[in-house]
């Protein structure tokens, strides 16, 4: 390998000092709760690694995930990830358009076949031949199959590409599915969230560039370093939950005292994400700290779990009409049963 091809050399060329690089690695290691010494090993490995070719495909999505990453509050630190990867195709960020853009994609695919990292945001519509979302006349479905072939691994960024997200919500008019619903023969990592936390995207990418493989994943494909705990596990309002002190409305005494938001529909107990520790907007706060319950955005079907304000311990839908019908049926059955028995009794009486 040519010395000048390494990430370290190219970073220096673009004016990133090795100290800032080490700092980035320290911050990332701390974020991923890697042992503190890992930062040095990471910096070392990264500076020797080659720039990772990345192809980013956007399907049925809202660009919120790209916004989350590129507009993160801490531009220099998290965006350093862009120094470490060679983003060969990204419709929103690239300068090229039309034929030239498509050409860039084909070129990148050819030149790093088998080695590039494929990032996907947005779900893939499958109904009616996938016509509901196409780029350059090709359906998202076909494009994904084509681009997955040469990928070393695939990262699904955002809940849409991870689990179908909002497009997949009932009644799912476009037949939207996730990347892992389609691609079965490549390692797929899900980085869900609506959108995911920028440092989480950057951290998982840094991990891949450093170690050349995906981090350990949980049972639904999420990196454990960020998604091992629920919001509730790490929530600072937890002591109030344990004591049974709940805010009943958004402006009552309990809400002012910072009590637990369970009764207001917080989905923290069933949501695995890093919001409570890494927080948002450069560590300013996270939804619960700002007074609103967790929506559960990093979980499959979060859009179909009833109202965001329906507490977790309540039935999903109030099917009172079914229950009422059952009750009426019961009354009718009771009347009939009693009637039959009365008839039977009079019958016996007559026989006597």
Partner 1 sequence: MDLLQFARGPALTWAATVFMFGITWRLVGILLLKRSPDFSEARNATSWLGAVKLIITRSWPRREFRQRTLFAQSLGYIFHVGLVIILFGFAPHILFFKALTGLGWPNLPSAFIQLTSGITLAALIVVLVRRLSHPVLRLLSNFDDYFSWLVTFTPVATGMLAVAHFGARYETLLAIHLLSVALLLVWFPFGKLMHSALIFISRGTTGALFERKGASI
Partner 2 sequence: MNSLTHINIKVINPLPCQSAGLSGNTDAILHEILALLEAFVATGQTGAIDLHSLPLTVADYEVLRTTLGDGEVHAHINVIGKTEVRETLYPGVWWLTYYNMEEDIVADLLEVTTIPEILKSPAEDVREGLACLRDLTGAVTMM
In the shown chain, the binding pattern of residues 272 to 311 toward ligand SF4, with x for contact by CB under 6 A and - for none, equals -x-x----------xxx----xxxxxx-------------
CA distance 319 to 22: 57
Query: CA 176: distance to chain centroid?
Result: 16
Nearest-5° angle of CA 205, CA 209, CA 214? 65
CB of 222 to ligand SF4, least distance (A): 12
Query: In terms of CB distance, is 142 or 233 closer to partner 1?
Result: 233
Q: Report the partner that residue 294 touches, choosing among ligand SF4, partner 2, partner 1, none (CB closer than 5 to 8 A by kind).
A: ligand SF4
In the shown chain, the binding pattern of residues 61 to 90 toward partner 2, with x for contact by CB under 8 A and - for none, equals ------------xxxxx--x----------
Query: In terms of CB distance, is 41 or 312 closer to partner 2?
Result: 41
CB of 226 to ligand SF4, least distance (A): 11
- What CA dihedral angle connects 27, 31, 32 and 38, to 10 degrees? 30
Of positions 8, 203, 268, 300, contacts ligand SF4 by CB under 6 A? 268
End-to-end Cα distance, the chain: 109
Q: Report the partner that residue 134 touches, choosing among ligand SF4, partner 1, partner 2, none (CB closer than 5 to 8 A by kind).
A: none
Taking CB under 8 A as the rule, does residue 306 contact partner 1? yes
CA distance 203 to 189: 13
Helix (H, G, I), strand (E, B) or coil at 69: helix
Residue 51 DSSP label: P
| Nearest CA-CA partner of 204 in 193, 105, 254, 71 | 193
What helix, strand, coil percent values describe the chain, rounded to 5?
50, 15, 40
Query: In terms of CB distance, is 78 or 263 closer to partner 1?
Result: 263
CB of 199 to partner 2, least distance (A): 9
C-alpha atoms less than 13 angstroms from C-alpha of 226 in its C-beta half-sphere: 30
Considering only the stretches 19-27, 57-65, 175-183, 309-317, report the one whose residues sit in contact with partner 1 under the rule CB under 8 A.
309-317
CA distance 238 to 53: 42
Nearest-5° angle of CA 42, CA 48, CA 53? 95
Q: Do 192 and 162 touch, CB atoms closer than 8 A?
A: yes
Helix pair angle (38-48, 18-31), 10° resolution? 130
CB of 49 to partner 1, least distance (A): 35
Residue nearest to ligand SF4 (CB): 268
Q: Report the partner that residue 345 touches, choosing among partner 1, partner 2, ligand SF4, none (CB closer than 5 to 8 A by kind).
A: partner 1
Query: In terms of CB distance, is 175 or 296 closer to ligand SF4?
Result: 296
Residues that bind ligand SF4 (CB under 6 A): 193, 231-232, 235, 237-238, 241, 260-262, 266, 268-269, 271, 273, 275, 286-288, 293-298
Residues that bind partner 1 (CB under 8 A): 230, 232-233, 241-244, 246, 262-263, 269-270, 300-301, 304-306, 310-320, 322-327, 329-331, 333-335, 337-339, 341-342, 345
């Amino acid at each position: 390998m040519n010395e000048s091809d390494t990430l370290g050399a190219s970073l220096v060329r673009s004016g990133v000092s090795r100290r800032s690089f080490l700092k980035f690695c320290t911050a990332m290691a701390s974020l991923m709760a890697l042992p503190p010494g890992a930062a040095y090993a990471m910096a070392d490995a990264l500076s020797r690694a080659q720039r990772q070719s990345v192809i980013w495909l956007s399907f049925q999505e809202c660009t919120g995930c790209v916004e989350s990453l590129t507009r993160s509050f801490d531009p220099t630190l998290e965006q350093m990830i862009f120094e470490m990867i060679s983003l060969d195709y990204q419709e929103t960020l690239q300068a090229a358009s039309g034929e030239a853009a498509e050409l860039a994609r084909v070129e990148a695919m050819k030149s790093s076949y088998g080695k590039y990292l494929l990032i996907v945001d947005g779900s893939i519509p499958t109904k009616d031949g996938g016509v509901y979302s196409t780029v350059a006349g090709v359906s998202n479905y076909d494009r994904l199959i084509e681009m997955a072939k040469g990928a070393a691994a695939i990262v699904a960024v955002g809940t849409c590409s991870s689990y179908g997200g909002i497009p997949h919500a009932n009644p799912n008019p476009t037949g939207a599915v996730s990347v892992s619903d389609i691609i079965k023969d490549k390692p797929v990592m899900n980085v869900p969230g609506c959108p995911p936390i920028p440092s989480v995207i950057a951290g998982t990418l840094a991990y891949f560039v450093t170690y050349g493989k995906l981090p350990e994943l949980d049972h639904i494909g999420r990196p454990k370093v960020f998604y091992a705990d629920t919001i509730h596990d790490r929530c600072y309002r937890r002591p109030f939950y344990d004591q049974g002190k709940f805010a009943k409305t958004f402006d009552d005494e309990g809400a002012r005292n910072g009590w637990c938001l369970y009764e207001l529909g917080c989905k923290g107990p069933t949501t695995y994400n890093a919001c409570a520790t890494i927080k948002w907007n450069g560590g300013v706060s996270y939804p619960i700290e700002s007074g609103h319950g967790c929506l559960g955005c990093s979980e499959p079907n979060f859009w179909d779990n009833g109202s965001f304000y329906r507490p977790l311990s309540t039935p999903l839908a109030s099917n009172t009409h079914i229950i009422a019908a059952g009750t009426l049926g019961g009354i009718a059955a009771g009347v009939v049963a009693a009637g039959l028995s009365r008839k039977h009794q009079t019958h016996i009486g007559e026989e006597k």
